[in-house]
Amino acid sequence: MYDVKSLKAEEFISDEEIRETLAYADANRDNMELVDAIIEKAKERKGLNHREASVLLACENEEKIQEIYELAQQIKKDFYGNRIVMFAPLYLSNYCVNGCVYCPYHMKNKHIARKKLTQEEIVKEVTALQDMGHKRLAIEAGEDPVNNPIEYILECIKTIYSIKHKNGAIRRVNVNIAATTVENYRKLKDAGIGTYVLFQETYHKESYEQLHPTGPKHDYAYHTEAMDRAMEGGIDDVGLGVLFGLDKYRYEFAGLLMHAEHLEAVHGVGPHTISVPRLKRADDIDPTAFDNGISDDIFAKICALIRISVPYTGMIISTRESQAVREKVLPLGVSQISGASKTSVGGYADPEAEKLANETSEQFDVSDQRTLDEVVNWLMKLGYIPSFCTACYREGRTGDRFMALCKNMQILNCCHPNALMTLKEYLEDYASEETRKLGMELIERELEKIPNPKVKQTTYEHIHDISEGKRDFRF
């Protein structure tokens, strides 16, 4: 029944295969010879399959877990360096016809304020985001063919890309909207989107159907096969994720890796990113009503195992997580984080409006409420380079072409200088005095690490040009 190359959800995410995987992991969790062999294989940096990774997830030996953490940190350093790419979500509309029981946008929620941004409001939101320094957005919307049809989403993308305020620009729009048709994915591709993101929520079919009792999202196969349709529509950067807390984490973890293996087997390219959201309190939603919540330690272990299992896939942590948790998992392999996020519709331009109206349009509570400048400052103090780079997709390095860059270890000659140049733009245009000072020192130090002398020289020149007012350099 299990067939990694099948295009049928229940065959590439076979329940039987997941159950057998979990039984195999249970039987081998204390088999140190096997655990060691799997860790050795991971050290080759070619990844692990869902069975191997599941054994490591089941293993509770502290020494081995420590070894996994160290390996994850090393792989993160080798493949991603110390860059952390920044982005922000932009909520377009919370109208939704689905019945997702964990999401406040569910159709029956009558006390959430329903909002949909007009194009004028988008200009205000994006101007506010540009004024913070953001260059990369993830647009979010509920599913509602009447209020948020694909034409609306496409119009919003066009508006977002067209806004040029002071030195600001949104250079990459990622899209997180409900599963749709090949034709609509093609339209998104033509609109110039970056990554198409769709969380599976849960890979467990029965739970999935209970958690999505009504609306188009109820269809497990249609949802699970969405990434294949997206790729058929020409989108070669897709982002996976499960909402941890809905079902048993070991089941989800195996399913997630099987999904990644499926994309690689069928399309020759794995997921561009994996997100690891955890269920949060929200209007009309009590996360304690879901009894599969995971501890911070298990969460960290999952992040480390994703890093060593799919070394070429970016990993995203949102502001659902607190500063402390983010700090814990950043070194274990995270490559992208959001900063200063608002999960309400219209929350950037007018953050006070909701409070005054005493009603919320928020999707969930944000744990990390710091400003972008605070997040950038904090990252640099921890030794990271906050990056506002969007070069890859603009240079056509999507899908396996980005992976090739990673595999050839050209990151230091390409992503590293791009990160420094975009950070310099941020420091010039948006940073506080203290952040600017810290950043300038960091850039001086990090420039020295560029191995290719020609690239190094050009980067020096561009960094200087940015001080003179020029913008948007990239390799």
Among 143, 261, 283, 446, binds ligand SAM (CB under 6 A): 143
> Which range, of 21-29, 172-180, 352-360, 450-458, touches ligand SAM by CB under 6 A?
172-180
Cα separation, 251 vs 286, whole angstroms: 23
Among 137, 282, 316, 372, binds ligand SAM (CB under 6 A): 282
- Smaller CB separation from ligand SAM, 38 or 177: 177
> Which range, of 280-288, 306-314, 345-353, 376-384, touches ligand SAM by CB under 6 A?
280-288
3-class SS of residue 186 = helix
CB of 284 to ligand SAM, least distance (A): 9
> DSSP string of 110-160?
-SSPP-B--HHHHHHHHHHHHHHT--EEEEEE---TTTS-HHHHHHHHHHH
DSSP code of residue 425? H
At CB < 8 A and 24+ separation, what contacts does 443-450 make?
Answer: 446/385, 446/416, 446/420, 447/420, 449/412, 449/416, 450/412, 450/413, 450/416, 450/417
Among 277, 331, 347, 417, binds ligand SAM (CB under 6 A): 277
3-state SS string for 204-232: CHHHHHHHCCCCHHHCHHHHHCHHHHHHH
- Smaller CB separation from ligand SAM, 51 or 217: 217
Among 140, 228, 354, 368, binds ligand SAM (CB under 6 A): 140
345: contact with ligand SAM by CB under 6 A: no
- Smaller CB separation from ligand SAM, 14 or 176: 176
In the structure encoding, which two tokens stand for residue 439, read together?
Answer: 């950043």
363: contact with ligand SAM by CB under 6 A: yes
259: contact with ligand SAM by CB under 6 A: no
Q: Which residues of 75-95 are buried (b: 16+ CB within 10 A; e: fewer)?
A: bbeebbbbbbbbbbbbbbbbb
> DSSP string of 35-66?
HHHHHHHHHTTS---HHHHHHHHH---HHHHH
**Of the candidates 260, 390, 382, 404, which has an alpha carbon nearest to the alpha carbon of residue 326?**
382
Per the document, the length of the chain is: 475
DSSP code of residue 331? G
- Smaller CB separation from ligand SAM, 177 or 420: 177
CB of 91 to ligand SAM, least distance (A): 7
Under rule CB under 6 A, which residues in 204-243 are in contact with ligand SAM? 217, 243
> Which range, of 2-10, 59-67, 193-201, 379-387, touches ligand SAM by CB under 6 A?
193-201
Among 172, 320, 342, 416, binds ligand SAM (CB under 6 A): 320
CB of 217 to ligand SAM, least distance (A): 6
Among 199, 222, 290, 460, binds ligand SAM (CB under 6 A): 199
Q: Name the site residues for ligand SAM (rule: CB under 6 A).
A: 102-103, 140, 142-143, 176-178, 198-199, 201, 217, 243, 277, 279-280, 282, 285, 320, 363-364
